Amino acid sequence: MLTLTIGTFAIALNHLLLISALVLATLVGWRVAKRGGENPESVLFSLFLLGMLVARVSFVLMYWSDYRHDPLQMVDLRDGGFLAWPGVIALVLGALAYGWRRPALRKPLGAGVITGLMFWGMTSLSLSLYDKGTHLPDITLRNANGDVVQLADYKGGPLVINLWATWCPPCRREMPVLERAQHQRPDVTFLFVNQAESMQSVATFLATQGLTLDNVLFDASGRLGQAVGSMALPTTLFYTADGRLINSHLGELSQASLARAMEPFDTDTTRKPTCPASATC
């Protein structure tokens, strides 16, 4: 399960866990402060922002080659580009600095930070282990010719599946990034699975945007999104040659965030699968 959906509202579970960790840390810090000490609410929020800033800056520096030609992309947080461990280190060091200068904060702040980090770490690890244990759904789709294809036919090499729609602004923005990647990485199969739109509307969109996508498939009822537990668009899934999910990304991909998600494929020497007889590649 990648998202929590309530009606038309959907939020990525990893984002929900991060917010929940901050709320829990604030509640624990407040309870400890009632027994003696200073309420750490504002400090915890400041540390949270510090951790996020350091995590973002660290990601940009690590993938500098993907950002240096587009400075505005560095501040576009929609690509989800963060490195967790530098952010955690910055948060802990900041908490130690606050505690050193303000003794009344030490116990409440320490209790809040430890509780929040433990909750976030354990739940994030559990979610990651659960998601990465799932396999490629056994469902059928249609290709651009209207022929029925089995999703399992594309196993045999690294596989990237992008769930998208023409009415989705972040889907439209990330398409050129995915188009470039499919040409730069011929060892990886990219599937562009449109959600609940007509073939004609998709063909018109691709033609007007000048996009050339190798494998456009159609999921008229949105069964793939339901099967992988994500009703949010865009969703991009990364599978090994044997159909095991190793990564997922909800929201818009940048060149840097796509490169990071595909890093496990760099050590995968499995050949790209041959094109299914019922598909047009």
Query: Which pLDDT tens digit goes with each residue over 190-245?
Result: 999 999 899 999 999 999 999 999 899 999 988 998 888 887 899 999 999 999 99
In sequence order, what are the residues at sequence separation of 6 or more whose Cβ sits closer than 8 angstroms to the Cβ of residue 98? 43, 47, 105, 109
Indicate the SS3 state at residue 224.
Answer: helix
Q: Which residue ranges make up each domain of the chain? A: 3-132, 140-267
Supply the DSSP string of 85-96, one letter for each residue: HHHHHHHHHHHH
Quick one: average pLDDT of 7-29? 86
- Distance separating alpha carbons of residues 194 and 165, to the nearest angstrom: 5
The bridge status of strand 159-164 relative to strand 189-195 is parallel
Quick one: average pLDDT of 35-44? 94
Mean pLDDT of the chain: 89
| Residue 250 · residue 230 · CB < 8 Å | yes
- Distance separating alpha carbons of residues 145 and 192, to the nearest angstrom: 14
pLDDT band at 277 (very low <50, low <70, confident <90, very high): very low
What pLDDT is stored for residue 278 in this prediction?
A: 44
**pTM recorded for the entire structure:** 0.85
- Distance separating alpha carbons of residues 86 and 62, to the nearest angstrom: 11
| Tens-place pLDDT, residues 153-196 | 999 999 999 999 999 999 999 999 999 999 999 999 999 999 98
**275 has a pLDDT exceeding 70:** no
Phi, psi angles (nearest 5°) of residue 242: -90, 10
Tell me: cis bond preceding 158? Omega within 30 of 0 counts. Answer: no
**33 has a pLDDT exceeding 70:** yes
Of the options 3.40.30.10, 3.40.920.10, 3.10.20.30, 3.40.50.2020, the CATH number for the domain spanning 140-267: 3.40.30.10
| Residue 25 · residue 44 · CB < 8 Å | yes
- Distance separating alpha carbons of residues 121 and 142, to the nearest angstrom: 40
